[in-house]
Structure 1
């Protein structure tokens, strides 16, 4: 079993390294086949290890660092939490790799793409399976580096390269908080092992627990694009669509949620930190949902919806339910990958047009894509009996069950966000599929491989609620038992469950009806101050530019022009020009002209005579 556990993480690494070194020498389809086979093999290894997950399987590949009292192993842990995450990552990534084989079949840099994609999956699996924080941090930085390369994959366009740099820099800010938390925990407990830390959290002072938990929240916000480190995620759409599906659905943006769940025994000890996590999630969910209301590019709508749905996952952790967070993480991975891959199909059909106001009538060009994309939208909007409905309702019910004013406010923000989500989901549906085609480009045909990968995601997205049905439907908290936290869900009376279900259904229907009456007939883009405000995502980028980028730029210019050019270069240039002037004067004394030499002798003779006269007078 140790070899099988190692294969989960090593197969994508081998595939990525092999393609990077030798892929350019192979025939055209082979790099895509190798990359897809590596991830599918990793998924099969996860399935083979699943019987061992309940008891927890562990293996150490080798000792990475060993100095004094510090030891860091490359150790892998396959327990209920990591196994669920690893299955989701490898399963969804396998379908995305197959989809990418069709999407990127004509791209001239296909080998570089699949090498980076495999390495991205390897880095994410390192986060998921690491048994210590240092190894997790290595994977944490690995997904940051690979996302930089994948988001800016088409780097010949400056805006794509800028998007890659922006994602890299903003997430590094969060990584700094994570680094401080890891070092602090090691200083306090003398270990970086995750299980050891979780078992010894009661040894840490409560105030320190709060500070460390807030530092972990800062790291999670950077990687999962939560307030205030969320501005990189919409720009990440600059990468190819398979990258968007992988980053937004199954991997990078869920890493922060997984970190908080992995260290939940630590963060749950601090009511302040738990409240902060819930509040950050609720506010981010609402902010992103409002920003999605007026977006024009199809992938930017989905990007803001990702930010919003990850906010729900943070809410779940903050209200004390790991199972609710992981449940929504899993259902979201399926339907969001479906939506992004479906969006890629629609963009391909529309002649690479991203603007939803230039689409319309797309249902006529591919019925399968229409129905599959609508399945994803129903899950996103929280249609009754879909996976997204059950997972989102569980989070809201858990918040409501606490009963105090703070958690009721969190519940209210979640319900309002659900209403907005339903509205912008059906706004997208009506603008893309209703009416007649408004674009100028001639519709293209789709590679079959791009479409064949979607039905399985739709099936899991729609049916994932069966894994954790509420009591109202005769279910039980299966995920709570699987994660070993049977009591993290506060049980509600049957009447209260009916009320919450009715509220969720009502919110879904109201959002749909508003979108129906507003967008059932095309009336053109919205042009007003409110729509401009939301289209620019509350002018957050402009605010950060004014508060952070411009002052930093001015400081750098001052250091350059005032410090380097004015002081350092000024002094050096002054010394150089002065030396040149003196050298020119001295050089004139030895120009070979006899009258000048005689004049020098005369002045020298006079100086000597004057010297002796002064000495004689002095005596």
Structure 2
């Protein structure tokens, strides 16, 4: 039975959608209506079995996601909340299906329409019956897709397409936050199953619960059209009227409120989320009521009344009165569905005109429609003994019964919203049925009641709008009813206010909303019927014009969105598409890979020149590589230099230059690449940037082989200077700076910072100077380059920039010599001795550098402390254990269980606060200490009373180096430090 409740609407949708041409219009209507009606009957049986008898039912069909860290079942859970939601969803849906047979009788796309309606119902059933957040999200997105399809059903209307797109995109904002909330739940609880999450909620930090609750609340805001994300709701009225009844009465708009009620065991532990719900609902109630009072479209007025009633439900959620919120949701579905279907009957009778100012006097022509809309309106304004009376006024009483300042204020705001609700309800009824005729003659000439398919649902919903609230009051909100004994709705004991609502609220405040309802109804009728001049004089006054225009334009929120938010987002998206998506694809495609391959193939074809000297060049280059490659490795400092010298020698021969000497410009290039080579061989991550730059230059030379430009000396120089050329200078400088910061743990020295910013500054000057500066500026730069004796070069700016790069890297090379006392240290370059006291391979810790690779450390007789880059990671490895170490992270102000570690600005370790140094008390224990990529060697780490106080000491017996980490040297600069701990 329970699987039939889920699957029957889907089967009806499939038959009507895919086999509509086979079964015909009548067959599609019969199959979909029958499937939904049978589902409704089964849901009523489930309500009796699960709800009234308190027998929850769970069904697990199959495993959906089965991984080590996440297990998700395709399962459904039927409890009292689920079956209570199924009652309005399926009853209203089945009546809308029947109503649509008559309303859509002349539409040529009946099969598609009924398929969408059944699919909408199926997705809503998935949403309310899911037993985990992921399956609920499937139904959540499904109703969003179906609403888009139904609102744009008449897709030939531009307004319908715009409205469906607005609904779709606005709901995507809420869906984004809902997705974030689901990821937060998975991260916090390790699962997304309802039972797991709700059972662990009391043990989770309140801040985490608050973040999750806010994300879920924003998702509910979009789906339930709360203020801020409400703009899609009135625009969705462009769809057929049965769609409006289905979306705004029982299905989509109630999904957000259902989500808040379903997660009550979670949000009950966050007072912040409850307060936000309380005030959000109050603002939405009065906001939508004010806008609805100044609308002229009959369906939009009812839509804003839906928004107002949803605000009342959110108020109840904020008061932790989830049972009252559910009771009002069920009641609202019936009388709001009746209002929409009654409005549809009016629109159908007057040739699809929705402006109720052009109605008037329709009561004699549409007596049944007038009667049912009167019943629905009375229930909406909470007239005594109607369905809405039992739940709406109870929410107001609960707000006052909270006995907090916020509850009293919300009670006043919601009462004002109820007053405006009364006014626009009377306005719609009076201008549609009771006033003098204001429309064209054709409206009355052909006005008629609908057929049996349209009238029967109205009568059934009218009965529900009168009696349902009275019959089910004790079930949903009765004290001690036990309907929610299965804990589907959870109210924290400190938030329980039902007794205060029933017995502590003064009678005056209980009757105050009713008094305003009756008095405002009488006042509106008196002003409209007997004192119309007062209303007209106010309407045509300057103040009335301003007030009417402001509220009729819905507080100008749509204008604000379009002007300041939508335009900015579209512009940003357009630029992103142009630069990243479209730009990257074109760069890799027609302007990148394709063009490069064409150029490469053309240049390779040009190698066959037929000139003997060209062939001699190829032979010479191949011979040089054949000699050098077997005997020289990339680790040799002279390899790149020899390659460049050989290449320039060949170039000198083919350039027919008179002088065979290397020019100053060539020396610049050699020095530039030589310094990069030194850095590359020093295993510094930053210097790989230099290797990238060299690769770019070399690739440009290779692509020019065989072409005429290859034999042009100036073009070859420009190719070698590609990283410094006009086109690439700024980009490579920025890339170098970014890579430097990232690869070195976001630390950078002052000299490097100055150098890189200077390069960026000069690069910007180059870019700007190339944009059409006067020749005087070029002459000025040329004057600066006179000592270079290279006036033959076409662009002196390139040479000027090469000197800047040369000065920067010469500075780095000098620092390198000064710090290392030698050009090549024991870093795997040349001969390296393994007998310097290094540990055996068996004692080597996996992942750590070998102890003999000591870069930047003093010699054996040098007692100076090694110069260590600031901000690097200081790791201690236990060499007695040959296995991978865990890393214990210490950081400031994050977790109280971790103690603070501080690192000084200078190049020495300085301070540990509160660290338990007991593991290092063994003086015989041997460790390997590493700082960044530099290994200080093998030594002992222990605690000792040093000259600066008690602290952590490091002793390297071979290097005779001692580093101390004591308490006294405190600095304000903080870094991350990882200590590797031993694991036996």
TM-score by length of 1: 0.88
Note the alpha carbon deviations across 1:142-182, whole angstroms, 9 max, x for none: 00000000011111111101111110110011011111111
Q: How many Å separate the matches in 1 of 2:96 and 2:107?
A: 16
How many angstroms does 1:470 deviate by? Answer: 8.4
Q: Give the 3 Å change call, closer, same or farther, for CA 617–513 of structure 1 in structure 2.
A: closer
Task: Map residues 468-479 of structure 1 onto 2, 5 A cutoff.
Answer: 469=473, 477=478
Q: Do the aligned residues in 1 keep the contact of 2:358 with 2:438 (CA within 8 Å)?
A: yes
Q: Determine if the alignment matches structure 1 residue 38 to structure 2 residue 35.
A: yes
Q: How many Å separate the matches in 2 of 1:369 and 1:108?
A: 26
Q: Do the aligned residues in 1 keep the contact of 2:9 with 2:121 (CA within 8 Å)?
A: yes
1:182 is aligned to: 182
Q: How many Å separate the matches in 1 of 2:7 and 2:348?
A: 34
Q: Identify the structure with the greater helix proportion.
A: 1
Q: Determine if the alignment matches structure 1 residue 456 to structure 2 residue 460.
A: yes
Q: Determine if the alignment matches structure 1 residue 24 to structure 2 residue 21.
A: yes
How many angstroms does 1:184 deviate by? Answer: 1.3
Q: Determine if the alignment matches structure 1 residue 550 to structure 2 residue 531.
A: no
Task: Map residues 174-573 of structure 1 onto 2, 5 A cutoff.
Answer: 174-440=174-440, 441-442=442-443, 443-445=446-448, 446-467=450-471, 469=473, 477=478, 481-484=482-485, 487=496, 489-492=498-501, 494=503, 496=505, 498-520=507-529, 526=539, 528-556=545-573, 558=575
Q: Greater shift after overlay, 498-507 or 388-397?
A: 498-507
How many angstroms does 1:500 deviate by? Answer: 2.9
Q: How many Å separate the matches in 2 of 1:71 and 1:617?
A: 76
How many residue pairs get matched? Answer: 583
Q: Do the aligned residues in 2 keep the contact of 1:174 with 1:218 (CA within 8 Å)?
A: yes
Q: How many Å separate the matches in 1 of 2:561 and 2:659?
A: 79
Note the alpha carbon deviations across 1:384-442, whole angstroms, 9 max, x for none: 12111221111111111111111111111111111111111101111111123222233
How many angstroms does 1:106 deviate by? Answer: 1.2
Q: Do the aligned residues in 2 keep the contact of 1:421 with 1:511 (CA within 8 Å)?
A: no
Note the alpha carbon deviations across 1:57-84, whole angstroms, 9 max, x for none: 1111222221223221121111111111
Q: Give the 3 Å change call, closer, same or farther, for CA 412–468 of structure 1 in structure 2.
A: farther
Q: How many Å separate the matches in 2 of 1:145 and 1:565?
A: 28
Q: Do the aligned residues in 1 keep the contact of 2:285 with 2:312 (CA within 8 Å)?
A: yes
Q: Do the aligned residues in 1 keep the contact of 2:98 with 2:453 (CA within 8 Å)?
A: yes
Q: Do the aligned residues in 1 keep the contact of 2:401 with 2:497 (CA within 8 Å)?
A: no
Runs of 4+ with deviation above 6 angstroms: 521-525, 560-575, 611-619
With a CA cutoff of 8 Å and minimum separation of 6, indicate the structure with the bigger relative contact order: 1
Where 2:106 maps in the other structure, the secondary structure is: coil
Note the alpha carbon deviations across 1:294-346, whole angstroms, 9 max, x for none: 10100000000000100000000001101110011011000000000000000
How many angstroms does 1:51 deviate by? Answer: 3.6
Q: Greater shift after overlay, 272-281 or 479-488?
A: 479-488
Where 1:72 maps in the other structure, the secondary structure is: strand
Q: How many Å separate the matches in 1 of 2:400 and 2:321?
A: 12
Q: Greater shift after overlay, 183-192 or 108-117?
A: 183-192
Q: Do the aligned residues in 2 keep the contact of 1:198 with 1:266 (CA within 8 Å)?
A: yes
Note the alpha carbon deviations across 1:541-594, whole angstroms, 9 max, x for none: 11111121112233345557889999998999999xx99xx9xxxxxxxxxxxx
Q: How many Å separate the matches in 2 of 1:353 and 1:513?
A: 28
Q: Do the aligned residues in 1 keep the contact of 2:400 with 2:505 (CA within 8 Å)?
A: no
1:131 is aligned to: 131
Q: Give the 3 Å change call, closer, same or farther, for CA 479–171 of structure 1 in structure 2.
A: farther
Where 1:69 maps in the other structure, the secondary structure is: coil
How many angstroms does 1:518 deviate by? Answer: 3.1
Q: Do the aligned residues in 1 keep the contact of 2:13 with 2:118 (CA within 8 Å)?
A: yes
Where 2:229 maps in the other structure, the secondary structure is: coil
Q: Do the aligned residues in 2 keep the contact of 1:399 with 1:408 (CA within 8 Å)?
A: yes
Q: How many Å separate the matches in 2 of 1:370 and 1:439?
A: 17
Q: Give the 3 Å change call, closer, same or farther, for CA 408–438 of structure 1 in structure 2.
A: same
Q: How many Å separate the matches in 2 of 1:45 and 1:342?
A: 27
Note the alpha carbon deviations across 1:234-277, whole angstroms, 9 max, x for none: 00101100000000000000001111111101111111110001
How many angstroms does 1:28 deviate by? Answer: 2.3
Q: How many Å separate the matches in 1 of 2:377 and 2:361?
A: 17
Q: Which runs of 5+ in 2 are unaligned?
A: 600-652, 662-984
Q: Greater shift after overlay, 172-181 or 339-348?
A: 172-181
Q: Which runs of 5+ in 1 are unaligned?
A: 583-610
Q: Do the aligned residues in 1 keep the contact of 2:234 with 2:304 (CA within 8 Å)?
A: yes
2:952 is aligned to: none
Q: How many Å separate the matches in 2 of 1:102 and 1:146?
A: 22
Q: How many Å separate the matches in 1 of 2:583 and 2:34?
A: 59
Q: Give the 3 Å change call, closer, same or farther, for CA 227–612 of structure 1 in structure 2.
A: closer
Task: Map residues 53-132 of structure 1 onto 2, 5 A cutoff.
Answer: 53=50, 54-132=54-132
Note the alpha carbon deviations across 1:331-383, whole angstroms, 9 max, x for none: 10000000000000001111111001000011111111111111001111111
Q: How many Å separate the matches in 2 of 1:530 and 1:519?
A: 19
Q: How many Å separate the matches in 2 of 1:160 and 1:615?
A: 76
Q: Give the 3 Å change call, closer, same or farther, for CA 77–559 of structure 1 in structure 2.
A: closer
Q: How many Å separate the matches in 1 of 2:332 and 2:339?
A: 10
Q: Give the 3 Å change call, closer, same or farther, for CA 205–358 of structure 1 in structure 2.
A: same
Q: How many Å separate the matches in 2 of 1:616 and 1:360?
A: 104
Q: How many Å separate the matches in 1 of 2:92 and 2:582?
A: 54
Q: Do the aligned residues in 2 keep the contact of 1:468 with 1:479 (CA within 8 Å)?
A: no
2:2 to 5, 12, 20: 5
Q: Give the 3 Å change call, closer, same or farther, for CA 538–209 of structure 1 in structure 2.
A: same
Q: Greater shift after overlay, 433-442 or 266-275?
A: 433-442
Q: How many Å separate the matches in 1 of 2:345 and 2:481?
A: 37
Q: Give the 3 Å change call, closer, same or farther, for CA 349–203 of structure 1 in structure 2.
A: same
2:973 is aligned to: none
Q: How many Å separate the matches in 2 of 1:565 and 1:6?
A: 47
Q: Do the aligned residues in 1 keep the contact of 2:474 with 2:481 (CA within 8 Å)?
A: no
Q: Give the 3 Å change call, closer, same or farther, for CA 560–512 of structure 1 in structure 2.
A: same
Q: Give the 3 Å change call, closer, same or farther, for CA 570–317 of structure 1 in structure 2.
A: closer
Q: How many Å separate the matches in 1 of 2:657 and 2:173?
A: 75
Q: Do the aligned residues in 2 keep the contact of 1:349 with 1:365 (CA within 8 Å)?
A: no
Q: Give the 3 Å change call, closer, same or farther, for CA 495–237 of structure 1 in structure 2.
A: same
Q: Greater shift after overlay, 491-500 or 403-412?
A: 491-500
Q: How many Å separate the matches in 1 of 2:346 and 2:656?
A: 102
Q: Give the 3 Å change call, closer, same or farther, for CA 76–613 of structure 1 in structure 2.
A: closer
